[in-house]
Structure 1
Amino acid sequence: MNEAYPPVLDSLAVVLRLENVDTDVITPIGRVLEGPQAIVDYAFEPLRFADDGTKRADDPFADPDRQNAQILVAGRNFGCGSSRETAAQAIRGMGFRCVIAPSFGDIFYSNCLKNGVLAVALGSREVEQIMASADALSRIIVRLPEQRIELDGQVAQFEIDPLSKRMLLGGIDEIGLLQGYAEAKANFDRADAATRPWVRARRRA
């Protein structure tokens, strides 16, 4: 079970002006990572560390003014490539609750939702406007119940399927979602047994 997604997320954002950032960049493949903290420590390794292991001066995640940012804004096709859930886990472990981009890798998008991260796909022009505002340290407000993003007086609506939205706000996964229907199923089974006893008898036979 994940931590419930906040109905209103009000945060600064980290801007990653790169396209086609694949899951091998988010979770490096050239290193054995043991434990959830290592996944976070070495997330985006090519962008954060030089070949000798020292910190890169242009690390996009090192801006001291954005150390508590919970929103990541990226270029198109973010999270493309191989299927690795650790990529979404790394994003969540770095403190991000929302990723905004023009498009995502399909499996990465799904993994984000399963790991308590809201992935928002918007038009390229809208994303560029958000990036410009984020560069100026404007705060971004994400209202999941209303499926709306607000910043600098502008509003952008986004799409999310109802079940994913419900799971995020409730902090539950697919199993938790099904468990929420347990009482309704039990009530149906009792009513069905009363109105169609022959069905139950045939199943036992």
Structure 2
Amino acid sequence: MTPLTMIEGKAYPFGRKNVDTDVIIPAHWLKTITRAGLGRGAFETVRAEPGNVFDDPDYAGAPILIAGDNFGCGSSREHAAWALKDMGVTAVIAPSFSDIFSGNAFKNGIATVVLPQEAIDRLLEVARTEPVTVDLETQTVTTPFQDRFVFPMDPFRRDCLMKGQDEIGLTMGLGAEIGRYEATMARDRPWL
């Protein structure tokens, strides 16, 4: 994964509540054997609406998505995180997330930032014309208007995102220590 320390730029001012994983990526897109191209199917039903934010050229390639409460609810499809990542989204800001979606996002290098609704409302307003910055190091979301919102984040997830490591990467980084342990076990307990 690519290390995430600071995500800055345009943000999709989406704001809808209870967006489930079927809205993020419809089921008929799940037949693929690759993650590449899933961004084309992201928010397909929303994109069918005239004037939707996802087809607005002003937001094309935005790295941040500002969403409503309970984002990522529904089924546990990891394809939702894959589709967002393929769109270029590396941070989603919302009042709350489905636990499964939040876990899938983390494992795919997407920061899920929880802020109160008042902060979301302000960010939705600002994102229409100005960039937004998510700083994982200081755990803040800021705007050019001196707005500064502090967010909590699980320290383990934050550290992994900042180092660009998932759980597999962390385990692989301990290869030498694991090898020494296994050699010791083989020597001291050969019956195992």
> What is the TM-score with the length of structure 2 in the denominator?
0.88
Q: 1:184 to 1:107 in 2, by over 3 A?
A: same
Give the direction of change, closer, same or farther, for the CA distance of 1:32–1:101 in structure 2 (3 Å limit): closer
**Paired residues, what number?**
189
C-alpha displacement of 1:79: 0.4
The CA distance in 2 between the partners of 1:95 and 1:88, in whole Å, is 11
Tell me the equivalent position of 1:204.
190
Q: For the pair shown, which has the larger CA radius of gyration, 1 or 2?
A: 1
Matches within 5 A, 1:1-205: 2-5=1-4, 7-30=5-28, 33-34=31-32, 35-49=34-48, 56-135=49-128, 137-151=129-143, 152-185=145-178, 201=188, 203-205=189-191
- C-alpha distance in 1 between matches for 2:39 and 2:81: 10
Q: Which consecutive aligned stretches of 4+ in structure 1 deviate over 3 angstroms post-superposition?
A: 30-33, 182-190
Structure 2 residue runs of 5 or longer lacking an equivalent are none
Change in 2 beyond 3 A, CA 1:153/1:37: same
Alpha-carbon contact 2:37-2:86 (below 8 Å) kept: no
Structure 2 CA distance for aligned equivalents of residues 140 and 106 of structure 1:
25
Report the Cα distance in structure 1 between the residues aligned to 2:118 and 2:30, rounded to whole angstroms.
39
What displacement does 1:172 show?
1.8
Q: Distance in 2 between matches of 1:131 and 1:98?
A: 14
| Matching residue of 1:53 | none
Q: Percent identity?
A: 36
Describe the SS at the equivalent of 1:36: coil
Hey, what's the Cα distance between the residues in 2 that align with 1:83 and 1:185? Answer: 32
Q: Secondary structure at the match of 2:53?
A: coil
